[in-house]
Amino acid sequence: MAVAFVAVAALCSCSRAAVPSPPSEAPRSLPVSVGNPPLTGTLTLPARPGRYPAVVLVSGSGPNDQDETVGADKPFLDIADGLAVHGIASIRYDKRTKDHPGSIDLATFTPTEEYVPDAVAAIHLLQHRSDIDPSRIFVLGHSQGGTFAPAIARTDPAVAGVILLAASTESLGSALVRQLTYLATLPGATGQQARATLPEAEQAAQQIDNPRLSITDRSTWPTSPLLGGASAAYFLDLRNYDPVATARAIPQPLLILQGGRDYQVTVADDLSVWEHGLAGRPGVTVHVYPDDDHLFIAGSGPSSPADYQTPGHVDPHVIADIARWINSR
């Protein structure tokens, strides 16, 4: 089966998605610890007892909490509760950069270390629970977590399928400059701040995308920290990892979701790369939600960071499509 492309209309054209109606039976939430040192996490189960498929939720860049809180929004909480209504369990957890930043050596820390070991630990936790079907454990990654979701499935072949939400493919330097160039076109303080920051971002992009940087020759590394305080090791690992080639090589089915109003990961700059690189690969399904932003919350007008300060909820169509795909496996 070739790549399936489906455009899905968002629920509404309001400024932010309306609060969803609460389910008649609330999901069950249990505290869990993931990895070592342990990360604070939550296992969300459907209301009624059973043996469920399950999803490991892997959040994007930065020291995110388990709900992937951005401003007033909590997309992973929405997804976990929504999937439980459809009979699907999930596990989500704080990132190591949030709970144990002191355990990280920024001189050597890489995105592979940031994403893969803790997700694999969450998979193993689920595999040992009697209420989880170990043959139906999926990985769902959002943003940079989606970029590394194929690597997680490559590391643990028991993963039943991979779900990518707004998964980036563009180099980090190029993406940073592109995002700020877009924000610079917006009115008010957002545009003003972006225009002021853009020259610094362009300089940072030149540093982290510098072709002279070598993983084997540390004399090519800058002596001072790069973007976000990370060393060259972080960006070299990111540069040397090809998410599309990794996704093409793994055997698991892929579900790729993208918001049409997303300015951080875009249809033109990222989704098009997934579609081109995965053309002809069996088991790939793509859905686009024209009114959804980077958090898959529906809205209208130009997308802006200010949107995240208004409470919203993940588009129910997104959750329903994820559940339908999982339940069809």
Instruction: State if pTM tops 0.85.
Output: yes
**Has 272 been annotated as catalytic?**
no
- The per-residue pLDDT for 208 is 76
**Has 321 been annotated as catalytic?**
no
Alpha carbon distances (Å) from 115 to 17, 118, 238: 29, 6, 12
Averaging pLDDT over each range in 7-21, 72-86, 171-185, 220-234, which range is the top one? 72-86
pLDDT, average across residues 41-46:
98
- The per-residue pLDDT for 69 is 97
CATH top class, domain 4-170+242-327: alpha beta
- The per-residue pLDDT for 185 is 95
Q: Is the pLDDT of residue 3 over 60?
A: no
Segment 17-26, tens digit of pLDDT: 444 444 457 8
- The per-residue pLDDT for 12 is 31
- The per-residue pLDDT for 294 is 97
Residue 19 in tokens = 């609060």
The torsion angle over the Cα atoms of residues 144, 325, 20 and 72, rounded to 10 degrees, is 0
Mean pLDDT of the chain: 89
Q: Is the pLDDT of residue 14 over 80?
A: no
Choosing from 59, 61, 90, 143, the catalytic residue is: 143
Name the residue with tokens 């409470």.
311
**Has 86 been annotated as catalytic?**
no
- The per-residue pLDDT for 288 is 98
Segment 143-197, tens digit of pLDDT: 999 999 999 999 999 999 999 999 999 988 899 999 999 999 999 999 999 999 9
Amino acid at 164: L
pLDDT band at 207 (very low <50, low <70, confident <90, very high): confident
- The per-residue pLDDT for 50 is 93
Q: How far is residue 260's CA from residue 241's CA, in Å, rounded to a whole number?
A: 26
CA atoms within 13 A on the CB side of 100: 15
Q: In percent, how much of the chain has pLDDT > 70?
A: 88
Q: Is the pLDDT of residue 303 over 70?
A: yes
pLDDT band at 206 (very low <50, low <70, confident <90, very high): confident
Q: Is the pLDDT of residue 315 over 80?
A: yes
pLDDT band at 226 (very low <50, low <70, confident <90, very high): low
For 87-96, 98-107, 223-232, 248-257, which range has the lowest pLDDT when averaged over its residues? Answer: 223-232
Residue 319 in tokens = 């959750």
Choosing from 294, 303, 313, 315, the catalytic residue is: 294
* HEC letters along the chain: CCCEEEECCCCCCCCCCCCCCCCCCCCEEEEEEECCCCEEEEEEECCCCCCEEEEEEECCCCCCCCCCCECCECHHHHHHHHHHHCCCEEEEECCHHHHCHHHCCCCCCCHHHHHHHHHHHHHHHHHCCCCEEEEEEEEEEECHHHHCHHHHHHHCCCCCEEEEECCCCCCHHHHHHHHHHHHCCCCHHHHHHHHHHHHHHHHHHHHHCCCCCCCCCHHHCCCCCCHHHCCHHHHHHHHHCCHHHHHHHCCCCEEEEEECCCCCCCHHHHHHHHHHHCCCCCCEEEEEECCECCCCCECCCCCCHHHHHCCCCCCHHHHHHHHHHHHCC
- The per-residue pLDDT for 65 is 98
pLDDT, average across residues 115-126:
98
Choosing from 262, 270, 291, 292, the catalytic residue is: 262
pLDDT, average across residues 70-99:
97
Amino acid at 47: A
